Amino acid sequence: MAHQISAATVTSPLLRKVERISGQNLSLCYQCGKCSATCPLAPQMDLMPHLVIRYLQLGLEQVFDAKSYWLCATCFSCETQCPRGLDVSKVCEALRTIKLRNDLRDLKIEKPSPEMPQQGLVSAFRKLSPY
Amino acid sequence: MQSYLYFPGCSLRTVARDFEDSARASARALGLELKEMQGWLCCGAVFPNVADNVMTNAGPNRILARARAESDTLVTLCAGCHNVLKRANLQAKRNAIKQEQINEFNEERYEGGLGVLHFLEVLRDRVGFSAIREAAKMPLRGLPVGAYYGCLLLRPFEEMKLDDPHRPSVLENLLFSIGCVPVDYPSRTECCGSFLGVGAPDAMALLSRNVVQAARSHGAKLLTVSCPLCKYNLEASQKQDPAASSSSEPLPVVYFTQLLGLALGVSPEDLRLSDTQLQTIRGSVKSTVESVSQP
């Protein structure tokens, strides 16, 4: 997938917005890929976690087209491995939050099993809705 | 009898009654009372992971404020609730500006001063595993159990500090103290899929099956957990897997408090152990003392 990188993309407000919401300084990331190596969901993602960060560093709005940030289960495996102290799960949550605050059509909650613990339902609504 | 203030949480009052009942019965057998706190509510299930969110801090902070009015220590069982309450408690200590915002939003003040402990921490640090070993009248000798930690008990490590995030041992040491043989297997701190069971059940099932298969291939006869959602995911992923059901029986999943209670002599009914779970346990416990491995 070819993307145009320019002065306009790298200075886009997206990076600063994600940094503000997530509380993470994305310029710390030097693309070692340990987050992608440890992420249990990475095999199911279309954009590896370290590439999510790279897209944001370059200001590429196409990051929103990926399904990766919807698949992040907030297990914090990346956070225990990152040599720069970044938490990619917070970045994924910021992306979900931005997306959902703009467009509620992305809310994807199907009817769960009656045995599903409340903990699972409440977590899903917290993670997959803007509230 | 020593008493600890205790927060049950939503799941323990509905689908995970087995967790709550077995924990309280085990505590009683060890001379401890878990006293339910007044006015508890849902903790929110997940700690707000983004910085610009005040509303999702409301629940945990109300709980902490009400618990503080009764005690200086609050004990939790569900790993999810524990993660939320421990981190909200730490946030109150570390971020005064945010805490003021939350307190104003809530119109109910929490200003710190509470210690949030998981029941496993009470067992390890207050009771002690040697005391549990002595109290275990009916040890589950030789029972090969896979201890499953998952995520929320251990991570984020800098905030949870319950055990080593890469090589945790608290569950294994508890299992040793009640005669079980903890099975070392590679996926014990990996994610079960968590809330993806609601939005993306196939993604969840891949992760949970990975845990079950790893534990089974390393000799575990059952898995033990501290989280109702982990238990649900580990069980549901096995039910949905046609390959596994045709080749082998599902690997039962029990709460650590059910195994503890059984070793302490609590009746299986009081621990809400199912017939299948009990059969697996009884079928794998060895009668000879020689078979017990020591840590």
Chain A interface residues (partner B, CB cutoff 8 A): 20-23, 40-41, 44, 70-71, 73-77, 79-80, 87, 89-90, 93-94, 97, 108-110, 112-113, 115-124, 126-128, 131
Write the CATH number for A20: 1.10.1060.10
How far is B201 from chain A, CA to nearest CA, in Å? 9
CA–CA dist B78, B151 (Å, integer): 12
Task: Give mean pLDDT, residues A66-74.
Answer: 95
CB contact (8 A) between residue A40 and residue B10: no
Rounded CA-CA distance B5/B72 in Å is 9
* Distance, first Cα to last Cα, chain A: 33
Q: Is the dihedral of CA B205, A125, A98, A23 positive or negative?
A: negative
Portion 207-236 of B in contact with A at CB < 8 A:
207, 210, 227-229, 232, 236
Please state, in angstroms and rounded to a whole number, the distance separating the CA atoms of residues B143 and B171.
Answer: 14
Residue B289 has pLDDT above 60, yes or no: no
d(CA B71, CA B63) in angstroms, rounded, equals 12
Instruction: Work out the number of other CB atoms within 10 angstroms of the CB of residue B51.
Output: 16
Q: How many Å lie between the alpha carbon of B142 and the closest alpha carbon of chain A?
A: 32
Q: What is the structure's pLDDT at A100? A: 87
Among candidates A74, A93, A119 on the partner chain, residue whose Cβ is nearest the Cβ of B10:
A119
In this structure, what DSSP letter does residue A111 have?
A: P
pLDDT digits (tens, 9 = 90+) for B74-115: 999 999 999 999 999 999 999 999 999 999 999 999 999 999
Mean pLDDT is highest, among A54-63, B52-61, B233-242, for: A54-63
Query: Which of A108, A119, A125 is the best substitution to test chain B (most B C-beta atoms within 10 A)?
Result: A119
Residues of B whose CB is below 8 A from A113: 236
Instruction: Read off the pTM.
Output: 0.94
Q: How far, in Å, CA of A78 to CA of A69, rounded?
A: 13
Find chain A residues with C-beta within 8 A of B165's C-beta.
Answer: 80
CA–CA gap between residue A71 and residue B202 (Å, rounded): 11
Shortest CB distance from B203 goes to which of A44, A93, A128? A44
A-chain residue closest to B202, CA distance: A44
Number of domain units in chain A: 1
Spell A37-66 as b/e; 16+ CB within 10 A means b: ebbbbbebbebbbbbbbbbbebbbeebeeb
Pick the CATH number of B2-119 from 1.10.3720.10, 1.20.1050.140, 3.40.50.720, 3.40.30.10: 1.20.1050.140
B179-224 confidence digits (pLDDT tens): 999 999 999 999 999 999 988 899 999 999 999 999 999 999 999 9
Nearest to A76 among B52, B56, B155 (CB): B155
Give the pLDDT confidence score for residue B27 in this predicted structure. Answer: 98
Domain assignment present for A34: yes
- How far, in Å, CA of B117 to CA of B161, rounded? 11
Chain B residues near residue A20 by CB distance under 8 angstroms:
51-52
Q: Answer whether residue A49 is part of any domain.
A: yes
Question: Taking 50 as the threshold, does the pLDDT of residue A122 lie above it?
Answer: yes
CA–CA distance, B77 with B8 (Å, rounded to integer) = 7
Closest-CA residue of B relative to A106 is B199
Percentage of chain A beyond pLDDT 70 is: 94
Question: Least CB-CB distance to A90: which of B49, B166, B210?
Answer: B49
Q: Is the ipTM of this complex over 0.90?
A: yes
Q: Which helix (H) or strand (E) holds B222?
A: strand B222-225
Q: Is B210 in Cβ contact with A40 (below 8 Å)? A: yes
Tell if the CB–CB gap between A122 and B50 is shorter than 8 Å: no
Cα B246 to chain centroid distance, Å, stands at 30
pLDDT of residue A104: 72
Beta strand B2-7 pairing with B32-36:
parallel
Domain boundaries, chain B: 2-119, 128-291
Which parts of chain B fold into alpha helices (H)?
17-29, 58-70, 79-94, 96-106, 119-121, 129-135, 157-160, 170-177, 196-199, 201-217, 228-239, 242-247, 256-263, 275-284
CATH class, domain B128-291, is alpha beta
Contacts of residue A38, Cβ cutoff 8 Å, sequence gap at least 6? A77, A78, A80, A81
Asked if A117's CB is within 8 angstroms of B232's CB, the reply is: yes
A-contacting residues of B 51-90, CB under 8 Å? 51-52, 55-56, 78, 80-81
Residue B53 is predicted with a pLDDT of 82
Name the residue among A75, A94, A112 with its Cβ closest to that of B198.
Answer: A112
Please check the confidence at residue B293 and state whether its pLDDT lies above 90.
no
Burial class from Cβ neighbours inside 10 Å (0-12, 13-18, 19+) for residue B1 reads exposed
Kindly state whether residue A87 falls inside one of the protein's structural domains. yes
Domain pair B2-119 / B128-291, same fold? no
Collapsing DSSP to helix, strand or coil, B254 comes out as strand
Q: Which domain holds residue A30?
A: 7-106
Sorted by sequence, the CB contacts under 8 Å of residue B278 that are 6+ apart come out as B268
Mean pLDDT of chain B: 94
- The sign one gets for the Cα dihedral A4, A42, B84, B39 is positive
Q: pLDDT tier at A39 (50, 70, 90 boundaries)?
A: very high
Q: Is the residue at A111 inside a domain?
A: no
- DSSP per-residue string spanning B101-143: HHHHHHTS---S--EEEEHHHIIIIII-HHHHHHH-SS--TT-
Model confidence pLDDT, tens digit, residues B3-53 = 999 999 999 999 999 999 999 999 999 999 999 999 999 999 999 998 888
Contact B74, B6 (CB under 8 A): yes
